Amino acid sequence: MTDDQAPLSREILLDVPVLPAKPTARVEVRRITMKPGFAAGWHVHNCPVVGSVLAGSVRYQAEGVDEVVLTAGEVFHEPEGVPVRFDAGDEGATFLAYFLLADGEEPEIALTSG
């Protein structure tokens, strides 16, 4: 049987360390939609965030790393406490974001200068 005929396939899209390591008691998943050209700007989260772009595109950049454009089907990681920029492209963007939360923790975002 060739790969084209296989009834199931698996592909790793993202494999990143979650540092600093901390217990995760729950995962909150959000579908987020940004209007065309919306600039969320530089910000930090109080927990690790991983996600995938469903539609449109975003300009993603973590502090100290070159900017990349992510499109539908691509994945991202926003490390806890690290400034990132996540801005919608000209066509807007919809993405899923998975917030890895400790017991009793709620997702938070704080704007920063990057």
* DSSP labels, 24-91: --EEEEEEEEE-TT-EEEEEEESS-EEEEEEEEEEEEEETTS--EEEETT-EEEE-TT--EEEEEEEE
Q: What b/e sequence results for 36-46 when a residue is b if at least 16 CB atoms lie within 10 Å of its CB, and e otherwise? A: eeeebebbbbb
Q: Does residue 10 carry a pLDDT above 80?
A: yes
pLDDT tens digits for range 66-82: 999 999 999 999 999 99
Task: State the pLDDT at residue 2.
Answer: 65
* pTM, entire model: 0.89
Give which of 38, 40, 36, 34 is closest to 53, Cα–Cα. 34
Determine the residue type at 65.
V
pLDDT range class, residue 89, cuts 50, 70, 90: very high
* Residue 3 confidence (pLDDT): 63
Task: Determine the Cα–Cα distance for residues 74 and 13; give it in Å rounded to an integer.
Answer: 8
Residue 76 tokens read as 């991202």
pLDDT in tens, 17-43: 988 888 999 999 999 999 999 999 999
**Other residues' Cβ atoms within 10 Å of the Cβ of residue 114:** 14
